[in-house]
Chain A
Amino acid sequence: DGGITQSPKYLFRKEGQNVTLSCEQNLNHDAMYWYRQDPGQGLRLIYYSQIVNDFQKGDIAEGYSVSREKKESFPLTVTSAQKNPTAFYLCASSTLLGKYQETQYFGPGTRLLVL
Chain B
Amino acid sequence: SQQGEEDPQALSIQEGENATMNCSYKTSINNLQWYRQNSGRGLVHLILIRSNEREKHSGRLRVTLDTSKKSSSLLITASRAADTASYFCATDPFRTSGSRLTFGEGTQLTVNP
Contacts and interface: CB of A to CB of B under 8 A. Distances in A.
A13 to B, nearest CB: 19
Contacts of A99: 30, 95-99
B88 interface: yes
Interface stretch (A61-69, A74-82, A104-112): A104-112
Nearest to B1: A59
Contacts of B98: 56, 99
Q: How large is the interface on B (under 10, 10 to 19, 20 to 34, 35 or more residues)?
A: 20 to 34
Interface residues of A, number: 29
B31 A42 contact: no
Interface of B: 2, 30-31, 33, 35, 40-45, 48, 88, 90, 92, 95-106, 108
Interface of A: 31, 33, 35, 40-45, 48, 50, 56, 58, 88, 90, 92, 96, 99-109, 111
